[in-house]
Structure 1
């Protein structure tokens, strides 16, 4: 799976619904970590409410012995040891995404060092489709392969594994996709679902399982030094597949990312060089948005064997040549994405107010390899579930589906299963094949499901900032504290901050339709960027902005800037709060505030003189409802974290 390589179109302010976070109290013991209040408030809202929980986030415990968590690990290692000792030819069958290709390269590289003769066997996206198939098994058996290891696939390949059994070809399956009720035949299975409940190995992607197998094999062979490159590839594949950054994933990424910049793999060095990230830190963001797309582009448009060779070669000149091929395919991928995105956005906007609740768009000439990326961009732009369809031939169309949080893609496709030839996925993404004559009926069914979802959520794009941040707090000290919370990714995303009542000092439209802003609060000025802005010509003079904080490197200079995910006209010194059937008008008064209800009664809050909080100036000021109302008003007015 790809992270979206480029930011999506910025939604208009009128299409946004802001949902501010609930006020939180920061317990004094949490301040011992040396994090500022906005970051502590962020962690509390994410569930890290105790010192113990924050300590585990910042410094996860070591990975436990994998043999205690994977019942079949010993059998898999024993068979691979024999293959290494006897210099056997071993086929490594991976997937054509970054997870599958890095998994394949990881095991190919290690087995080659340990004496086996590994062969990469990745199916073609265009010719073979996903995963291992019987024809591949027959071909590999005919080439003298007696052991096959699947990585990032295999558990659903029943026909292929049954054919392998008939041909006396042993199979070790490492996969993290759903295990079917009736399991196929195999020698050993490494799967997160086979680990005990609560295991830190539960979140592993395909490359994580390959790394578990590689570590166990290298240790059994007494060759721990061969694991350095394996950890590098684990980092790339885990981030690219957006695996949850918890458990051993987080531990190994914290261990591996700092050394990734100096990787001994010539292929990774060549990729960094062509991506222009030879200087500066190589963090999870750089991997996810600069290295991973270059690898994924090959699986989408070219031959995955290119990536496997790139990540296993010891020849630096050859690595640079292969990296240039990746770069060319990535440029082609970007051009295809931009062309398809422009065409898809135009189709959506042409519908005007008649826009469907489920955006289903089909063009025969769209490329299967990139429509998933574009679908994800449209989700960020319009806040609606999206399916993009391209011709598969023989009267069928193949689709990639993406959806906002809350709309379950897998459930929607299951409910429409009778209309589909094939389908699969998870809550946020999926895919299907449908006959052309059933597309209209399918769209009607999906629109019905999306309409029900929108009735509950509302049609506007949801903007959910996590912590209030005055612009004057944006400095190197904050950035260094933020780095302590890295790596960011699935399950622990880069924070979305919010700054209220910012002056628009300057705005400038950049080439490509992006909008650059200079925002001010008091004496502070900060630069902000809104990618693919379509919110109109001029902004109001005062705005609230929601954003991720980025370190922008340009011509040898580094500068913190805001990457906007939401923008709305500021409420200024007055905001309205709605609590069920009650309305309150809240306004600033110096460093304090005043809350008025519909009857004209007032509740005043003044600084408590302790930790920057507010105290209710009311005989019943300690009542929980009034305290909660006071904190909510302070948050909305930008007076509290």
Structure 2
């Protein structure tokens, strides 16, 4: 393991500091009262920044989207050029990428352009041989084959060499991409990009597949051939969730339209994937896509040739589609095995190091690791150790190629820019990135990355952050809550599945399952609920009486379905709550008559009465002070008296 030991690194988290819990924000006692939702869900929306019921209603029931021609300056030019290609039967190369976004985007345009009259052909680079995106050799090869029009999907905006060559050869290029636009824009016929839309445009969160959908819809509508894009929305749903695009704005509106029909898709490849994933003939959720379908697609781009997925998603024959889907399934099993093996090796390297401290930036390198999966393992290490993690694999000629993942607050892209003089190539965004470095510079690079991460890590609490959205009593976890919870779906980036918590829960039963999972039976008062904790670390104890943080899901087994809690964190329960305000500390507790009492370090007590969805009342004049009210409301949250 390549390692730098900083002078002020926190120790490995012990079981007592495995998580660092934070109270949710104090909001008014009865927020967004006009909404027909339980108090807990209205509180979730209020904490997510929805100030009025009207704002929240726009999330729950999105209205009509604005005309995309008014938001994408080059959409008219792009659609007109493609209309000409369709009318003239031109050959059009669709240049995609090897991730799920790029592969679904490619399939979407292939399926849309062919019935409109064009002759589309796929062009996706090999991850191992050609690297990412449009490149000059692709342009030369396509041009030699008679292609005069290229459409890039999920790439191309920064491919200056390839775009300049295309210009020299007289090849027109329509770029659809959502990655950063260079300061000096390369030559292209048209650019369909979220950054070109107005401020607060609902189209700003579109991934590559969303931009391909905008373009395909525009061309199909102009040619009055709407049936050409019947499957396009289905592929949009898959690619958008798989790429972890923010599920707000246009993404949310189109997902809400598409998810209800996705299980009946006319795309035989999607139906085959659903069958192999055991999803049955029921409406799909964003979670079904993210955890069942997307991994089977992404595994091919990571380990195999992306053309396999494009062939699958454009297959016309159900039998052929099933055969291709089974190959995707095989790649996914191989991907899981590789990830588990590399993760075990990486953890062993970390924990075999002497001493009780970790570097603030984990950096591990093994030449035999597979480039296609090191990003997944880096994310797992980041979650496990709550610090940035980079895994490096051999890249030939004395170089290593890395994938980086980081917790919120540490910007990967800025860190890599600060180390740019040590790197051959690099790129990314705040949460993730990648780079290539010469082997002899790895130690110097690690020292610099640790120097950047040291100051950030000192501001972090020990343990993984746990920030619940709202409190629930176990008796509230029922089918009525589930029904209302689904009205907030789909969940994803920008609008995650709510994290709930419950206080004072008794563990009635525990079963250890294969794969390192544990099943729990929890009790609170007269209510019992079943829970599961995935990939539970054996070193973490499960107290008999605890507070639990969890999401809610459905467990389907042998034709039955029931609600279950998916445990994300737990801690030993305490009847009192310690609140720190600068150098002052307060202890909050409940009295036998259900009153709230807060005691400061000098022993001064403040007592208040609380009724649900109403403001605190107290005989003490201090409780009229806004700062004191804030303190008392935080105490209410900590004691589970407010959601």
Partner residue, 1:38:
40
Correspondence for 1:418 among 421, 425, 429: 421
Q: Is the 8 A contact 2:263 2:281 kept in 1?
A: no
The question of whether the paired residues in 2 share the 8 Å contact of 1:243 and 1:490 is answered with yes
The answer to whether the 8 A contact 1:397-1:433 is kept is: yes
Tell me, yes or no, if structure 1 residue 225 matches structure 2 residue 232. Answer: no
Which stretch has the larger CA shift, 30-39 or 379-388? 30-39
2:77 is aligned with 1:75: yes
CA drift at 1:416: 0.9
Instruction: Confirm whether residue 348 of structure 1 aligns to residue 350 of structure 2.
Output: yes
How many angstroms apart in 1 are the aligned matches of 2:347 and 2:265?
A: 40
Match of 1:442 in 2: 445
Q: Aligned pair 1:504/2:507, yes or no?
A: yes
Residues of 2 paired with 1:358 and 1:463: CA distance?
A: 21
Q: Is the 8 A contact 1:11 1:534 kept in 2?
A: no
Picking from 387, 390, 403, the partner of 1:384 is 387
Whether 1:557 and 2:557 are equivalent positions in the alignment is no
**Is the contact between residue 505 and residue 519 of structure 1 (CA under 8 Å) also seen in structure 2?**
yes
Deviation of residue 535 (structure 1)?
Answer: 5.0
1:461 is aligned to 464
Whole-Å Cα distance in 2 between the matches of residues 336 and 425 of structure 1? 24
Q: Partners in 2 of 1:278 and 1:582 — Cα distance? A: 56
CA deviations over 1:573-632 (Å, ceiling 9, x no partner):
212111112111111223222211122221112234x63664234233322222222211
Supply the distance in 2 between the matched residues of 1:119 and 1:480 (Cα, whole angstroms): 44
Confirm whether residue 370 of structure 1 aligns to residue 357 of structure 2: no
Q: Specify whether residues 287 and 27 from structure 1 end up closer, same or farther in structure 2 by C-alpha distance, changes over 3 A only.
A: same
Match of residue 243 from structure 2: 241
Q: Which residue of 2 aligns with 1:3?
A: none
Query: Partner of 1:126 in structure 2?
Result: 128
Q: Which residue of 2 aligns with 1:322?
A: 324
Alignment map for 1:217-296 (pairs within 5 Å): 217-296=219-298
Summarize the Cα distance change of 1:617–1:472 in structure 2 as closer, same or farther, 3 Å threshold. farther
The separation in 2 between residues aligned to 1:412 and 1:106, in whole angstroms, is 36
Secondary structure in 2 matching 1:607: coil
What per-residue deviation string (whole Å, max 9, x for no partner) do you get for residues 248-303 of structure 1?
Answer: 11111111111111111101100000011014431001111111111111111111
Check 1:536–1:229 CA distance in 2 against 1; reply closer, same or farther (3 A cut).
same
Aligned-residue offset at 1:538: 4.5
Residue 481 of structure 1 aligns with which residue?
484
Measure, in 1, the Cα distance between the counterparts of 2:428 and 2:107: 25
* DSSP 3-state at the match of 2:393: strand
- Secondary structure of 2:548's match? strand
Structure 2 partner of 1:605: 608
Residue 7 of structure 1: aligned partner: none
Q: 1:547 to 1:340 in 2, by over 3 A?
A: same
Match of 1:306 in 2: 308
Residues 611 and 135 of structure 1: CA distance in aligned 2, closer, same or farther (over 3 Å) = closer
- What does residue 517 of structure 1 align with? 520
When residues 280 and 392 of structure 1 are mapped into structure 2, their CA distance, relative to the original with a 3 A threshold, is same
Query: Do structure 1's residue 197 and structure 2's residue 199 form an aligned pair?
Result: yes
Q: Does the 8 A contact of 1:613 with 1:640 survive in 2?
A: no
Q: Contact 2:426–2:433 at 8 Å: present in 1 too?
A: yes
Q: Is the Cα contact below 8 Å between 1:416 and 1:445 reproduced in 2?
A: yes
Contact 1:606–1:617 (8 Å) recurs in 2: no
CA distance in 1, matches of 2:114, 2:250: 26
TM-score, normalization by structure 1: 0.96
**Number of equivalenced pairs:** 629
After TM superposition, the score normalised by the length of structure 2 is 0.95
Contact 1:424 1:432 in 2 (8 A): yes
- 1:201-236 Cα offsets, whole Å, 9 max, x none, are 111111111001000000011011222200111111
Q: Deviations over 1:407-427 (max 9, x none)?
A: 100001011111111100000
Q: How far apart are the structure 2 equivalents of 1:26 and 1:257?
A: 34
Contact 2:231 2:267 in 1 (8 A): yes
- Distance change in 2, residues 1:346/1:612 (3 Å): farther
Which of residues 137, 149, 162 in structure 1 aligns to 2:151? 149
Q: Report the 3-state secondary structure (helix = DSSP H, G, I; strand = E; otherwise coil) of the residue aligned with 1:512.
A: helix
Q: Which residue of 2 aligns with 1:491?
A: 494
- 8 Å CA contact 2:20, 2:465 repeated in 1: yes
- Look up the match of 1:5: none
Q: Does 1:101 align with 2:111?
A: no
1:574 aligns to 2:571 (yes or no): no
Asked whether the equivalents of residues 263 and 282 of structure 2 are also in contact (C-alpha less than 8 Å), the reply is no
CA positional deviation for 1:27: 4.5
Three-state SS of the structure 2 residue aligned to 1:480 is helix
Shift of 1:12: 4.0
Distance across 1 between alignment mates of 2:172 and 2:622: 74
SS at match of 1:222: coil
Q: Say if 1:593 and 1:634, in contact at 8 Å, map to a contact too.
A: yes
For residue 77 of structure 2, give the secondary structure of its aligned residue in structure 1: helix
Hey, what's the Cα distance between the residues in 1 that align with 2:157 and 2:588?
58
1:182 is paired with a residue of what secondary structure?
Answer: coil
Whole-angstrom distance in 1 between the partners of 2:367 and 2:324: 31
**Pair 1:160-2:166 in alignment:** no
Distance 1:412 1:405 in 2: 13
